[in-house]
Structure 1
Amino acid sequence: MDVELRPYQREAVEAIEREWALGRRRTLLVLPTGCGKTVVFNDIARREVERGGRVLILAHRGELLEQAADKLRRATGLACSVEKAGDTSVGTFERVTVGSVQTLMRERRLEALGPGRFTLIIVDEAHHAVSQMYRTVLDYFEGAKVLGVTATADRGDRRDLGEVFDSLAYEYTMPAAIRDGYLVPIEAQTIPLDIDLRGVSTRSGDYALEEVGTALDPYLPAIADEFEGAGLRGMRTVVFLPLIKTSRKFRDLLASRGFRAAEVNGQSDDRADVLADFAAGRYDVLCNSMLLTEGWDCPSVDCIVVLRPTKVRSLYCQMVGRGTRLSPETGKKRLLLLDFLWMTDRHELCRPAHLVAQSPDVADRMTEILEAKGCPEDLGEVERQASEDVVAQREESLAKELAEQRRKKRRLVDPLQFEMSIGAEDLSGYAPSFPWEAAPASGKQVKALEGYGIDAGDATCAGKASLLLDRLAKRREAGLSTPKQIRFLESRGFRKVGTWTLDQASRAISRISANSWRTPAAMDPATYVPGDPL
Structure 2
Amino acid sequence: MNLRPYQNEAKLAILEQWSEGINKVLAVLPTGTGKTILFSAVTEECVRQGKRVLILAHRGELLDQAADKLMKSTGLGCATEKAEQSCLGSWYRVVVGSVQTLMREKRLKGFSENYFNTIIIDEAHHAISDGYQRVLDHFPKAQVLGVTATPDRGDMKNLGSVFDSLAYEYTLPQAIKEGYLSPIKAITIPLKLDLSGVSTQAGDFKASDIDTALDPYLYQIADEMLKYCKERKTVVFLPLVKTSQKFRDILISKGFNAAEVNGESTDRAEILEAFDKGEYNVLCNSMLLTEGWDCPSVDCVIVLRPTKVRGLYCQMVGRGTRLCEGKTELLLLDFLWHTERHELCRPAHLICQNEEVAEKMTENLANEAGCAVDIEEAEKQASEDVVAQREESLAKQLKEMKTRKRKLVDPLQYEMSIQAEDLSSYVPAFGWECAPATDKQKAKLEKLGIFPDDIDNAGKAKLILDRLEKRRNAGLTTPKQIRLLESKGFEHVGSWSFDSASRMIARISANGWRVPRDIDPKTYTPEN
Paired with 1:10 and 1:487, the residues of 2 have a C-alpha distance of 40
Letter in 2 for 1:485: Q
RMSD: 1.7
The match for 1:225 is 223
Give the gaps of 5 or more residues in structure 1: none
Post-superposition Cα deviations, 1:239-277, rounded to whole Å, max 9, x if no partner, equal 111111111111111111111211111111111111111
Stretch deviating more after TM superposition (169-178 or 309-318) = 169-178
How far apart are the structure 1 equivalents of 2:449 and 2:59? 51
Give the alignment partner of residue 333 of structure 2, picking from 326, 335, 338.
338
Secondary structure of 1:408's aligned partner:
coil
The correspondence for 2:462, drawn from 459, 466, 482, is 466
Q: Distance in 1 between matches of 2:16 and 2:221?
A: 50
Q: Matched residues in 1 for 2:147 and 2:510: separation?
A: 56
Distance of 1:72 and 1:246 partners within structure 2 = 38
Distance in 2 between the 1:506 and 1:178 partners?
Answer: 41
Provide Cα deviations, 1:89-139, integer angstroms capped at 9, x if missing partner.
011000000000001111121112222210000000010011101001110
2:112 is matched with 114
1:318 matched to which residue of 2? Answer: 315
| Residue 255 of structure 2 corresponds to residue 250 of structure 1 | no
CA contact (8 A) 2:402 2:486 kept: no
Structure 2 letter corresponding to 1:386:
A
Partner residue in 1 for 2:515: 519
Report the counterpart of residue 150 of structure 1 in structure 2.
Answer: 148
- The one-letter code sitting in structure 2 at the alignment partner of 1:370 is L
Alignment of 1:48-197 (within 5 A): 48-197=46-195
Task: Give the TM-score taking structure 1 as reference length.
Answer: 0.95
Are the structure 2 counterparts of residues 412 and 246 from structure 1 closer, same or farther at C-alpha, using a change threshold of 3 Å? same
Please, which runs of 5 or more residues in structure 2 have no aligned partner?
none
- Cα–Cα, structure 1 residues 21 and 255, in superposed 2: closer, same or farther, change >3 Å? same
* Alpha-carbon shift at residue 452 of structure 1 (Å): 2.4
Residue from 422, 425, 430 that aligns with 1:429: 425
> Quick check: 1:496 aligned with 2:486?
no
**SS at 1:342's partner residue?**
strand
Q: Is 2:442 the counterpart of 1:446?
A: yes
Report what 2:35 is aligned to: 37
Aligned residue in 1 for 2:373: 377
Aligned residues: 527
The verdict on how the C-alpha distance between 1:301 and 1:498 changes in structure 2, with shifts beyond 3 A counting, is farther
Does the Cα contact within 8 Å between 2:117 and 2:141 map onto a contact in 1? yes
Shift of 1:493: 3.5
Contact 2:401/2:413 (CA < 8 Å) preserved in 1? no
SS in 1 for 2:121: strand
Could you tell me how far apart the structure 2 residues matched to 1:247 and 1:333 are? 28
Query: Please, which of 340, 357, 366 is the counterpart of residue 362 of structure 1?
Result: 357
Structure 1 residues 380 and 498: CA distance shift in structure 2, 3 A:
farther
Residue correspondence of structure 1 range 273-352 to structure 2 within 5 A: 273-327=270-324, 329-330=325-326, 332-352=327-347
* Separation in 1, partners of 2:518, 2:235: 60
**After alignment, is 426-435 or 209-218 more displaced?**
426-435
Whether 2:13 is the aligned partner of 1:15: answer: yes
Deviation digits for residues 29-60 of structure 1 (CA, Å, limit 9, x no counterpart)? 11111111112111111111111110000000
**Aligned match for 2:483, one of 475, 484, 487:** 487
SS in 2 for 1:112: coil
Distance in 2 between residues matched to 1:262 and 1:149, nearest whole Å: 32
Question: 1:346, 1:69 → 2: CA distance?
Answer: 42
Q: Of the candidates 201, 204, 214, which is equivalent to residue 203 of structure 1?
A: 201
Structure 1 residue 515, shift from structure 2 partner: 4.8
